[in-house]
Chains A and B, each alone.
Chain A
């Protein structure tokens, strides 16, 4: 079976093909499972497909235009407290789901960002994005949102320090799944 799948060139797209067929079948038979899951899928998919290509274009452009030394100076190892403030501000200005932050983390790492600041970036991205905060304030109130943000800040900074102290010197690297075949099926 596995061989057949590989022969047909489906590989990692097997589930996608099966799901597509199920959606198609649901359309004709009115199968409620297929219709319901399909509706959810389109909601997620439309978010991803409008947002991710744009973000990748920006990442690609930033990659070719920004000199590593400059970035490294500001947010690399030895950039200190100021570097951490920069990286948090950068993360807060962004939008989108967490999986969108992974490619940015790869870019940051490639440009010499310190391990600590990479994980602080992920923390700030997931919890302090301004577009998301405005939403949170609207639904849960200013006091709740502000307090949650203030409590989260030291937590993810602490996580950044812990990650760095553990991963430094342990051959840590961030892989770009796009240019590596060895990451397949990992």
Chain B
């Protein structure tokens, strides 16, 4: 975060020293883009906040830990695809799962779908990439995550 602040400040300073008009033009673009995605982003965050309240972390862990067979695999993929959990919650949760005896495959599927598949952010993704490309990227990523899980089981 600090790196981002410093980088932005330095870039902004250098840019405005070099060419004021060009800098303003760039900032105008930034502002318009930000306003463009703000409402949808806020809606996504609100829905996620409500969902996370209704299904707290402990409940998630219980669902994921209940079954380590093929069903556990499927549950991990579904939860991972839907949930939007930041890394600082997801990794401790996955560590907790491993400790409680869930296999590496299930933990890997959970983490990978969490990272690559975003059902809740799909409306936002569609806005940028169009329906077809967004659905395709998420579908392929889900398939890929399942494959990664299987391979983790083989190698770990």
The chain A residues found within 8 Å of chain B, CB to CB, are 11-13, 15-16, 19, 33, 36-38, 40-41, 44-45, 47-48, 50-65, 95, 97-99, 102-103, 105-106, 119, 122-123, 126-127, 132, 135-136, 138-140, 143-144, 147-148, 151-152, 155-156, 158-159, 162-163, 166-167, 170, 172-180, 183, 186
Contacts and interface: CB of A to CB of B under 8 A. Distances in A.
Contact of A148 (B44, B112, B118): B112
Contacts, number: 220
Nearest to B123: A186
Contact of A65 (B26, B35, B137): B26
A45 B53 contact: no
Given A61-B15, A143-B156, A44 B30 contact: no
A10 to B, nearest CB: 10
Contacts of A136: 87, 91, 111
A99 B124 contact: yes
A12 B129 contact: no
Nearest to A54: B8
Given A156-B116, A159-B141, 6 more contacts: A37-B46, A40-B50, A55-B4, A56-B34, A60-B29, A158-B144
User: In the complex, which of the residues B12, B34, B118 has the most CB atoms of chain A within 10 Å of its own CB atom?
Assistant: B34
Nearest to A19: B46
12 contacts: A15-B43, A41-B45, A44-B49, A59-B29, A59-B30, A61-B11, A61-B12, A61-B27, A105-B129, A139-B95, A147-B155, A159-B140
Contacts of A119: 137
Interface of B: 1, 4-5, 7-8, 11-12, 15, 22-23, 25-37, 39-46, 48-50, 52-53, 84, 86-88, 91-92, 94-95, 98, 104, 107-108, 111-112, 115-116, 118, 121, 124-130, 132-133, 136-137, 140-141, 144-145, 147-148, 151-152, 155-156
Contacts of A37: 46, 49-50, 52-53
Secondary structure call for the A interface = helix
Contacts of A156: 116, 141, 144
B148 A135 contact: no
Contacts of A138: 91
B5 A54 contact: yes
A73 to B, nearest CB: 22
Given A16-B42, A144-B104, A159 B155 contact: no
